[in-house]
Copies of this chain bind each other. A is one copy, B any other.
Amino acid sequence: MPTPVDELARRSKVASRQLAGASTDDKDAGLLAAADLLLERAPDVLAANTADLEDAAAGGMAEGPLDRLRLTDARLTGMAEGLRKVAGLQDPVGEVLDSTERPNGLRIERVRVPLGVVAIIYENRPNVTSDAAGLCLKSGNAAILRGSGTALRSNLAIAGVLREALEKVGLPEDGVIVVDDVAHEAATRLMQLTELVDCLIPRGGPDLIQSIRENATVPVVIDGDGNCHVYVDAAADLDEAEAIVLNAKTQRTSVCNAAESLVVHEGIADVFVPRVCAALAERGVELLGDAAARARCSEMGEATDADFGQEFLDMKLTVAVAADLGAAIDHINRFGTGHTEAILTEDADAARRFSEEIDAAVVVVNASTRFTDGEEFGLGAEIGISTQKLHARGPMGLRELTTYKYLVWGDGQIRE
């Protein structure tokens, strides 16, 4: 019998109050103990994972998802190293963001504090259990984790190890809780526990995001689609542009920061479109374009608005030709998802205008879109990439798992 998600979230809330005041040393000790214990208990975790894998395979799961579900010694070592790395990052909690003294003598401080209970809903990757819990712990939050049903035994085994480590160092084991009710209703319920869940971070595809939009009443940070564009300006270095377009599209296609669309300034379209399309086609990229792009590349299919709006996550790219920089910006703001948009240009004014007028979490000038990532940005680790504007935008690290609290210090002030 699974435990009701309300009860689990109540336990998370209690743990979150204890974790909020935990010292950096204690939290780091917990992370290091968890890393050690994860390797020590590897046989148990792998056995649980094997059971998940066998059921999944028997149920007809394809090789791609099966591979994401699979744990190995190497993957467990990676998870342990991830926990150790988080222990080495700076603790964001307790930082005084600002402090002012008012004319009436009140001292007003703004201090960084944990969010409280952070819920993560994710898919078929058991490593997220450890990665997300580690980041939540270091930032003083309790993590309540709801992975996919196919990974339940793996997730419970990993969380069991983390909980044991927390207890070992005197921290509340309920700092990490896996929701063991795999029914759809339990996930929906988790999205609606407004008194208990301080922040929900969904990590999944469009169906999950849609369900969150329809059902969630708790505060949410959306880790949404990345329909990323590369705009090649009239003043681009075309050799560099070709290399960047190829990298952004083909270096890894299944990730949210891969390019899904190419926009080319009309002034260089006669030269650049045939050239880059040949290079892309050679790598096996399927091309869909507007009329102006197709006129310059015979191998290109017709792109509909739906194509321009889609995150393919595949060897597929839309191509549009823009009359000028303004038209390119309009196209990208229309079809983009607010993730990452790049301009390639040697014209500083064009770069400046693009960076100002494009409405996205990350605007890249003369580099690949593939750099939008917590590690690449120097955050040390990331819990996701926000495509919304409230709270956090772009790669989210430890800082983005905190909020602040005003502390007002008086000596008897009353309001007249």
Q: Decide yes or no: A371 and B403 within 8 Å by CB, A199-B390, A357-B20 being known contacts.
A: no
Is A408 on the interface with B (CB-CB < 8 A)? yes
- For residue A416, which residue of chain B has the nearest CB? B251
Enumerate chain B residues within 8 angstroms of A413, measured Cβ to Cβ: 366-368, 371
**Are B415 and A251 neighbours in the complex by a CB distance under 8 Å?**
yes
**Are B221 and A390 neighbours in the complex by a CB distance under 8 Å?**
yes
Q: Decide yes or no: A219 and B362 within 8 Å by CB, A106-B371, A370-B414 being known contacts.
A: no
Q: In the complex the two chains form, what is the Cα distance from A84 to B244 in whole Å? A: 48
Q: In the complex the two chains form, what is the Cα distance from A11 to B277 in whole Å? A: 37
**Are A333 and B405 neighbours in the complex by a CB distance under 8 Å?**
no
Q: In the complex the two chains form, what is the Cα distance from A74 to B413 in whole Å? A: 30
As a 0/1 sequence over residues 400 to 416 of chain A, the CB contacts with chain B under 8 angstroms (1 = contact) are 00011111111111110
Interface residue from B102, B248, B368, B412 paired with A366 (Cβ < 8 Å): B412
Enumerate chain B residues within 8 angstroms of A213, measured Cβ to Cβ: 194, 217
Q: In the complex the two chains form, what is the Cα distance from A199 to B219 in whole Å? A: 13
Q: Decide yes or no: A217 and B217 within 8 Å by CB, A368-B414, A403-B389, A403-B390 being known contacts.
A: no
Min CB–CB distance A11 → chain B (angstroms): 15
Q: Decide yes or no: A408 and B360 within 8 Å by CB, A247-B415, A378-B102, A414-B251 being known contacts.
A: no
Is A243 on the interface with B (CB-CB < 8 A)? yes
Min CB–CB distance A409 → chain B (angstroms): 5
- Most chain-B CB neighbours within 10 Å: which of A17, A199, A413? A413
**Interface size, A (range):** 35 or more
Is A198 on the interface with B (CB-CB < 8 A)? yes
Enumerate chain B residues within 8 angstroms of A83, measured Cβ to Cβ: none
**Are B21 and A414 neighbours in the complex by a CB distance under 8 Å?**
no
- Give the interface SS of chain A, mostly helix, strand, loop or mixed: mixed
Is A167 on the interface with B (CB-CB < 8 A)? no
Is A100 on the interface with B (CB-CB < 8 A)? yes
Q: In the complex the two chains form, what is the Cα distance from A17 to B357 in whole Å? A: 7
As a 0/1 sequence over residues 349 to 384 of chain A, the CB contacts with chain B under 8 angstroms (1 = contact) are 000000111011111111110111000111000000
Enumerate chain B residues within 8 angstroms of A37, measured Cβ to Cβ: none
Is A393 on the interface with B (CB-CB < 8 A)? yes
Is A108 on the interface with B (CB-CB < 8 A)? yes
Min CB–CB distance A133 → chain B (angstroms): 20
Is A282 on the interface with B (CB-CB < 8 A)? no
- For residue A100, which residue of chain B has the nearest CB? B378
Enumerate chain B residues within 8 angstroms of A365, measured Cβ to Cβ: 407-410
Min CB–CB distance A78 → chain B (angstroms): 19
Is A394 on the interface with B (CB-CB < 8 A)? yes
Is A237 on the interface with B (CB-CB < 8 A)? yes
Min CB–CB distance A12 → chain B (angstroms): 13
Interface residue from B366, B378, B395, B407 paired with A363 (Cβ < 8 Å): B407
Q: In the complex the two chains form, what is the Cα distance from A372 to B364 in whole Å? A: 40
Min CB–CB distance A261 → chain B (angstroms): 18
Q: In the complex the two chains form, what is the Cα distance from A32 to B199 in whole Å? A: 40
Enumerate chain B residues within 8 angstroms of A20, measured Cβ to Cβ: 356-357, 359
Min CB–CB distance A130 → chain B (angstroms): 25
Q: In the complex the two chains form, what is the Cα distance from A414 to B247 in whole Å? A: 6
**Are A21 and B357 neighbours in the complex by a CB distance under 8 Å?**
yes
6 nearest CB pairs, A to B: A367-B410, A247-B414, A370-B415, A367-B413, A391-B391, A390-B391
> What 10 new A-B contacts, CB under 8 Å, besides A100-B378, A102-B376, A393-B404?
A21-B356, A21-B357, A102-B378, A355-B407, A362-B408, A367-B408, A367-B412, A368-B414, A370-B414, A372-B408
